[in-house]
Structure 1
């Protein structure tokens, strides 16, 4: 019941954008960019991430970073993350300068809910080499949720990080953050995960997904989220629950793409070619399918078929 309430509240306050067959959106989540140390899970996939974003930039996609982009629970001072990954923030700035960046906050970067924090850390940055401040993402306003609405059919796609209704990562996020910052982060280098995270806790992960599917069925909305780090693409008879996965899998990242009126799940992966050279390849894992295939509104399902 609480999950339904939290999701509904976020939906009602969501930013709305209209889409059509010319729209290009890509959804990536859970980058968990850190400070470049051993506990920085993003660092090993940094080059894959950069290569993927260059592709989306050149192909005129709008980039939706769907929560937990920066690991602010472990590193409250954003400058440490920024200094560790300058190339990443350079391309994010290129997206933003062309009005093609939408930043959604998750539990690990919940500080972006505070516009004061955003203004202090994201509007401008300090270049330690030149000793000058420069504009970074001036005026950016991270959001909790996004609704993409089809101009013709009025079908809606609800986009949210996915921690809403997850007790330790939503309403109890602060004590969970403290336990991660002062204890669990030091075990990351050895592959040990916090039990409050749905990443390694299968029962917790399935419970979250089950609650979200209930909301989808009740409100007849297509939904894209992250948070669990488990990519999902609905099978033929499943309700339209999509999960973009994460950017910290070993040697690969996953994403949801919307382009040409269709949706698909893709993976960017490091592979070795026949000459023994490492290459980054993009492959379609599921789809593409027309977005309209996942329209479950009763009014649509009950429409008479015209021949």
Structure 2
């Protein structure tokens, strides 16, 4: 395990002021918009309407908005051109900010905002909440990589002047399974060692309690198989159909088994210390994490016009955003007390 990453994350954690977990309203943690200029090279374009509608019509009605890095794609586009192309998005951000409900953290693709910030709200590197005697530490995640901590300017130059000349999607750790897993392992080791709950973005892979969506699909197939053996004939037919749906989803999600990077832990117990909000630029939808005064949830939003595929976990159903074709489903939800109990018992 990289000693540099552990030391970097420890320093970031220590230098981030602790504040009480807000009790007045829940927060939504969302990252990796990679907003560009609206051209074919703009990764945000694919889910822009879905993202803005969800932020404006759902989360603005009562949530605090925590933007966890890589919101603007400043390694490819000037900020002025981005803001000129997406005025509605910035109007939504402004409404949150005017009501003191916006927190903005920096990622590696918008790192320059730490030093040259045109927005009224401060740009932070980390956010640290205290829940009872426990820490919830929110940061983008690139800090666990020497490459992005020391050579981010050179990476940005390459993206802007070489890669940026071609209409291709982001070339970063999020598209390299080996680097993705290595970075997640570093953050997991740090959070495990410190016995804290860490929430990141950066890799674009949603994680809940240190497990990926693929892990949950596999566990649910096993759970349904156990139910099948005890079920009546009528129940078996329904369970069989659900297992087939999950298997189909697994095949479509990981068509090549060699590309499934799997879980990030190596011991016999999964310490639920690492969470990842995923990203806004998913192929079929967007993911985010909701944090309340007592609960944490991983949520998935999608457009039924584009994809009718969704997964039900432990009885959670989808619900529709009124007046739209957009749906939400809770992938996993858990009480903070239970999560921290397991962290302290297993870490």
Cα distance in 2 for residues equivalent to 1:97 and 1:280: 27
TM-score normalised per structure 1: 0.82
Cα distance in 1 for residues equivalent to 2:22 and 2:114: 29
Which residue matches 2:149? 170
User: 5 Å matches for 1:180-191?
Assistant: 180-187=159-166, 189-191=167-169
Which residue matches 2:325? 279
Question: Does the alignment pair 1:213 with 2:188?
Answer: yes
- Structure 1 spans left out of the alignment, 5+ residues: 123-137, 303-307
Structure 1 or 2: more strand by fraction: 1
Q: 1:292 to 1:34 in 2, by over 3 A?
A: same
Which residue matches 2:60? 57
Alignment length (residue pairs): 270
What secondary structure does 2:43 align onto?
coil
TM-score normalised per structure 2: 0.73
Which residue matches 1:132? none
User: Structure 1 stretch 265-274 or stretch 158-167: which is displaced more?
Assistant: 265-274
- Structure 2 spans left out of the alignment, 5+ residues: 212-268, 309-322
Calculate the aligned-residue CA RMSD, in Å. Answer: 2.2
Cα distance in 2 for residues equivalent to 1:264 and 1:44: 24
Cα distance in 1 for residues equivalent to 2:22 and 2:154: 43
User: 5 Å matches for 1:1-307?
Assistant: 1-19=3-21, 22-54=24-56, 55-58=58-61, 60-75=62-77, 77-114=78-115, 117-118=116-117, 121-122=118-119, 138=120, 140-150=121-131, 153-187=132-166, 189-191=167-169, 193-194=170-171, 197-234=172-209, 235=211, 237-272=270-305, 279-287=325-333, 289-295=334-340, 301=345
For each residue in 1:32-89, what CA deviation from the matched residue of structure 2 results, as whole angstroms up to 9, or x when unmatched?
111111100001211111111121111x1110000001111112x3110001100000
Cα distance in 2 for residues equivalent to 1:217 and 1:259: 22
Cα distance in 2 for residues equivalent to 1:65 and 1:211: 22
Cα distance in 1 for residues equivalent to 2:345 and 2:188: 18
Deviation for aligned residue 1:10: 1.1
Q: Is the 8 A contact 1:63 1:101 kept in 2?
A: yes
